Structure 1
Amino acid sequence: MFSRLSRPISRATASIASVNQLTVYTKSRKSFGLTPSSAMAEGKYPAKKHAQKVVDHISKRSPSPNGVLYLEAKHTKLLEDNDEPEPFRQRRYFYYLTGCNEPDCYFAYDIAAQKSTLFIPPIDSDSVIWSGLPLSPEEALKKYDVDDVKYTNEVNPYLAHVGASYSKAGKQTSVYAIADQVSEQTTFIGFDQKDFQTLKPSIDACRVSKDEFEVGLIRKANEISTEAHHAAFKKAKTASNECEVEAVFLQKCIAQNAKEQSYHGIFASGRAAATLHYVKNDQPIQGKLNMLIDAGAEWECYCSDITRTFPINGVFSPESRAIYDIVLKMQLECIGILKAGIVWDDVHALAHRIAIDGLHTLGILKGDKEEMFKKRVSVAFFPHGLGHHLGMDTHDVGGNPNYEDKDSMFRYLRLRGEVPEGSVVTVEPGIYFCNFIIEPYLEDAELSKYIDKDVLDKYWDVGGARIEDNIYVTKDGHVNLTTTAKEAEEVENMILTA
Structure 2
Amino acid sequence: MNNTLLPLSEFTQRRQRFFAQMLDDSIAIFSANKEVTRSNDTEYPFCQNKSFYYLTGFNEPEAILVLIKSATPQAILFCQPKDPLAEVWHGRRIGEVKAKQDYGFDQCFTLAELNEQMFNFFNHANTLYFCRGQNKFFDQQIYQWLETNKAKYRLGVGFPQQIIDCQKMVEELRLIKSAKELTVMREVNVISGKAHQRAMEKTTAGKFEYQIEAEILHEFARHGARFPAYNSIVAGGDNANILHYTNNDQSLNDGELLLIDAGGELAGYAADITRTFPINGVFSAPQKALYQLVLDAQEQCIQAIKPGQTLGYLNELCCEVLTKGLLALGILTGDYQTLLSEKACKKYFIHGLGHWLGLDVHDVGDYQMVNRAQTRPFEAGMVMTIEPGLYIPLDDIDVDVKWRGIGIRIEDNIAVTDQGHENLTVNAPKSIVEIEQLMAKANIKH
TM-score by length of 1: 0.79
Q: How does 1:6-155 map to 2 (within 5 A)?
A: 43-44=7-8, 46-58=10-22, 64-79=23-38, 82-112=40-70, 113-155=72-114
How far, CA to CA, are the matches of 1:142 and 1:398 in structure 2? 32
Q: Structure 2 vs 1, CA of residues 385 and 309 (structure 1 numbering), >3 Å: closer, same or farther?
A: same
Q: Structure 2 vs 1, CA of residues 382 and 77 (structure 1 numbering), >3 Å: closer, same or farther?
A: closer
Aligned to 1:318: 285
2:348 to 367, 381, 384: 381
Identity of aligned pairs, percent?
Answer: 31
Aligned to 1:241: 208
Aligned to 2:413: 470
Cα deviation for residue 308 of structure 1 reads 0.4
1:480 to 398, 423, 426: 423
Name the SS for the 1:387 alignment partner. coil
How far, CA to CA, are the matches of 2:34 and 2:139 in structure 1? 11
2:308 to 335, 341, 352: 341
1:261 to 205, 208, 228: 228
Tell me which amino acid in the other structure corresponds to 2:431.
Answer: E
How far, CA to CA, are the matches of 2:66 and 2:53 in structure 1? 12
Instruction: Answer whether contact 2:234 2:258 (CA < 8 A) is retained.
Output: yes
Instruction: Answer whether contact 2:217 2:227 (CA < 8 A) is retained.
Output: no
Tell me which amino acid in the other structure corresponds to 2:61.
Answer: P
1:490 to 423, 434, 442: 434
Name the SS for the 2:128 alignment partner. strand
How far, CA to CA, are the matches of 2:59 and 2:110 in structure 1? 16
Aligned to 2:153: none
Instruction: Answer whether contact 1:388 1:399 (CA < 8 A) is retained.
Output: no
Q: 5+ residue gaps in structure 1?
A: 1-24, 28-39, 59-63, 167-171, 443-452
Q: Structure 2 vs 1, CA of residues 132 and 391 (structure 1 numbering), >3 Å: closer, same or farther?
A: closer
Tell me which amino acid in the other structure corresponds to 2:53.
Answer: Y
Aligned to 2:260: 293
Instruction: Answer whether contact 1:45 1:99 (CA < 8 A) is retained.
Output: no
Cα deviation for residue 87 of structure 1 reads 3.5
Higher mean alpha-carbon deviation, 237-246 vs 296-305, is at 237-246
Instruction: Answer whether contact 1:303 1:392 (CA < 8 A) is retained.
Output: yes
Q: Structure 2 vs 1, CA of residues 360 and 91 (structure 1 numbering), >3 Å: closer, same or farther?
A: same
Q: Structure 2 vs 1, CA of residues 182 and 467 (structure 1 numbering), >3 Å: closer, same or farther?
A: same
Q: Structure 2 vs 1, CA of residues 126 and 174 (structure 1 numbering), >3 Å: closer, same or farther?
A: same
Cα deviation 1:94-150 (Å, max 9, x = unaligned): 112111121121111122323212222112343123134422444333442433333
Instruction: Answer whether contact 1:68 1:111 (CA < 8 A) is retained.
Output: yes
How far, CA to CA, are the matches of 2:212 and 2:252 in structure 1? 10
Aligned to 1:278: 245
Aligned to 1:174: 127
Q: Structure 2 vs 1, CA of residues 238 and 434 (structure 1 numbering), >3 Å: closer, same or farther?
A: closer
How far, CA to CA, are the matches of 2:311 and 2:87 in structure 1? 51
Instruction: Answer whether contact 2:122 2:160 (CA < 8 A) is retained.
Output: no
Higher mean alpha-carbon deviation, 131-140 vs 246-255, is at 131-140
- RMSD between aligned residues: 2.6
Cα deviation for residue 365 of structure 1 reads 2.6
Cα deviation for residue 396 of structure 1 reads 1.1
How far, CA to CA, are the matches of 1:234 and 1:191 in structure 2? 66
How far, CA to CA, are the matches of 1:251 and 1:331 in structure 2? 28
How far, CA to CA, are the matches of 2:317 and 2:363 in structure 1? 23
Instruction: Answer whether contact 2:48 2:60 (CA < 8 A) is retained.
Output: yes
Cα deviation for residue 358 of structure 1 reads 1.6
Instruction: Answer whether contact 1:217 1:300 (CA < 8 A) is retained.
Output: yes
Name the SS for the 1:187 alignment partner. helix
Higher strand share: 2
How far, CA to CA, are the matches of 2:9 and 2:59 in structure 1? 11
Instruction: Answer whether contact 2:237 2:253 (CA < 8 A) is retained.
Output: no
Higher mean alpha-carbon deviation, 67-76 vs 241-250, is at 67-76
2:376 to 417, 425, 437: 417
Instruction: Answer whether contact 2:51 2:170 (CA < 8 A) is retained.
Output: yes
Instruction: Answer whether contact 2:323 2:336 (CA < 8 A) is retained.
Output: yes
Cα deviation for residue 79 of structure 1 reads 4.3
How far, CA to CA, are the matches of 1:287 and 1:115 in structure 2? 62
How far, CA to CA, are the matches of 1:160 and 1:49 in structure 2? 28
Tell me which amino acid in the other structure corresponds to 2:435.
Answer: V
How far, CA to CA, are the matches of 1:145 and 1:194 in structure 2? 30
Q: Structure 2 vs 1, CA of residues 157 and 127 (structure 1 numbering), >3 Å: closer, same or farther?
A: same
Q: Structure 2 vs 1, CA of residues 383 and 194 (structure 1 numbering), >3 Å: closer, same or farther?
A: farther
Cα deviation for residue 153 of structure 1 reads 2.2
Tell me which amino acid in the other structure corresponds to 2:128.
Answer: V
Name the SS for the 1:119 alignment partner. strand
Instruction: Answer whether contact 1:46 1:99 (CA < 8 A) is retained.
Output: no
Tell me which amino acid in the other structure corresponds to 1:283.
Answer: Q
How far, CA to CA, are the matches of 1:129 and 1:98 in structure 2? 26
Tell me which amino acid in the other structure corresponds to 1:480.
Answer: N
Instruction: Answer whether contact 1:156 1:187 (CA < 8 A) is retained.
Output: yes
Q: Structure 2 vs 1, CA of residues 143 and 306 (structure 1 numbering), >3 Å: closer, same or farther?
A: farther
Name the SS for the 1:107 alignment partner. strand
How far, CA to CA, are the matches of 2:418 and 2:377 in structure 1? 12
Q: 5+ residue gaps in structure 2?
A: 150-156
Instruction: Answer whether contact 1:67 1:191 (CA < 8 A) is retained.
Output: no
Q: Structure 2 vs 1, CA of residues 481 and 45 (structure 1 numbering), >3 Å: closer, same or farther?
A: farther
User: What is the total number of aligned residue pairs between the two structures?
Assistant: 424
How far, CA to CA, are the matches of 1:146 and 1:489 in structure 2? 53
Cα deviation for residue 416 of structure 1 reads 4.3
